[in-house]
Structure 1
Amino acid sequence: MVEISLKDVVGKGYKDFWKFTGRYRVVKGSRASKKSKTTALYYIVNLVKHPKANLLVVRKTYRTLKDSCFTELKWAINRLGVQDYFDIKESPLEIIYIPTGQRIYFRGLDDPFKVTSITVEVGYLCWMWLEEAYEISNEDDFNVLDESIRGSLEAAPFLFKQITLTLNPWNEKHWIKKRFFDTKDDEILAMTTNYMCNEWLDKSDLRVFETMSINNPKRYKVAGLGEWGIVDGLVYDNWVEQSFDLNEVLKISGIQSAFGLDFGYTNDPSALFCGLIDNANKIIYVFDEMYQKSMSNEDIYNEILKQGYAKERIIADSAEPKSIDRLRVLGLHRIRGARKGRDSVNNGIDYIQGFKIVIHPKCVNFLIEINNYTWDVDKRTGQKINKPIDDFNHLMDAMRYALEGFIRGDIFSFD
Structure 2
Amino acid sequence: MKSKTVYLPDLVGKGYKRFWNFRGRYRVVKGSRASKKSKTAALWFIYNLMKYPKANLLVIRKTYRTLKDSCFTDLQWACERLKVSRLWDFKLSPLEATYKPTGQKILFRGLDDPLKVTSITVPSGALCWGWIEEAYELNSEADFDMLNESIRGEIPEGLWKQWTLTLNPWNEHHWIKKRFFDRPDENTLAITTNYQCNEWLDEADLKLFEEMKKNNPRRYQVAGLGNWGIVDGLVFENWREDPFTLDDVRNCESINGLDFGYANDPAALFVGFIDQQGKKIYVWDELYKKGLTNRRLFEEITKMGYAKKKIVADSAEPKSIDELRGYGLRMASSVKGKDSVNHGIQFIQDYEIIVHPRCVHFVTEISNYTWDKDRFGNSINRPIDDFNHLMDAMRYSVERFSKGSPKLKTYRGGI
1:4 maps to amino acid: V
Name the residue aligned to 1:250.
Answer: 249
> Identity across aligned pairs (percent)?
63
Match 1:407 to one of 387, 397, 402: 402
SS of residue in 2 equivalent to 1:173:
coil
1:343 maps to amino acid: D
Q: CA deviation at 1:157?
A: 1.5
- In 1: Cα distance, 2:38 partner to 2:23 partner: 18
Name the residue aligned to 2:215.
Answer: 215
Maintained 8 Å contact 2:279/2:351: yes
Root mean square deviation, CA, Å: 0.8
Name the residue aligned to 1:206.
Answer: 206
Matched, 1:123 2:120: no
Matched, 1:360 2:360: no
2:59 maps to amino acid: V
Q: CA deviation at 1:403?
A: 0.2
- In 1: Cα distance, 2:343 partner to 2:38 partner: 40
Matched, 1:311 2:308: yes
Matched, 1:292 2:289: yes
Q: CA deviation at 1:405?
A: 1.2
Matched, 1:191 2:187: no
Match 1:59 to one of 50, 58, 61: 61
Name the residue aligned to 2:390.
Answer: 395
Matched, 1:351 2:353: no
2:315 maps to amino acid: S
Name the residue aligned to 1:335.
Answer: 331
- In 1: Cα distance, 2:95 partner to 2:411 partner: 33
- In 1: Cα distance, 2:411 partner to 2:68 partner: 30
1:274 maps to amino acid: V
- In 1: Cα distance, 2:226 partner to 2:317 partner: 33
Name the residue aligned to 1:85.
Answer: 87
SS of residue in 2 equivalent to 1:18:
helix
Q: CA deviation at 1:118?
A: 1.1
SS of residue in 2 equivalent to 1:169:
coil
- In 2: Cα distance, 1:378 partner to 1:184 partner: 36
Q: CA deviation at 1:39?
A: 0.3
1:224-263 pair list within 5 angstroms? 224-246=224-246, 248-251=247-250, 253=251, 255-263=252-260
Match 1:99 to one of 98, 101, 104: 101
TM-score, normalised to structure 2's length?
Answer: 0.97
Deviation per CA, 1:312-352: give whole Å up to 9, x if none: 110000000000000000010x2111011111100000000
SS of residue in 2 equivalent to 1:274:
strand
- In 1: Cα distance, 2:363 partner to 2:223 partner: 18
Deviation per CA, 1:351-398: give whole Å up to 9, x if none: 00000000011000000000000000012x221000000000000000
- In 2: Cα distance, 1:412 partner to 1:393 partner: 28
Maintained 8 Å contact 2:184/2:190: no
Q: CA deviation at 1:84?
A: 1.1
Name the residue aligned to 2:371.
Answer: 375
- In 1: Cα distance, 2:80 partner to 2:276 partner: 52
Structure 2 unmatched ranges of 5 or more: none
Paired residues, what number? Answer: 408
Maintained 8 Å contact 1:231/1:372: yes
Name the residue aligned to 1:274.
Answer: 271
Name the residue aligned to 1:321.
Answer: 318
Structure 1 unmatched ranges of 5 or more: none
* Runs of 4+ in structure 1 over 4 Å off: none
1:181 maps to amino acid: F
Q: CA deviation at 1:413?
A: 4.0
Name the residue aligned to 1:15.
Answer: 17
- In 2: Cα distance, 1:312 partner to 1:242 partner: 23
Maintained 8 Å contact 2:240/2:355: yes
TM-score, normalised to structure 1's length?
Answer: 0.97
Name the residue aligned to 1:29.
Answer: 31
SS of residue in 2 equivalent to 1:170:
coil
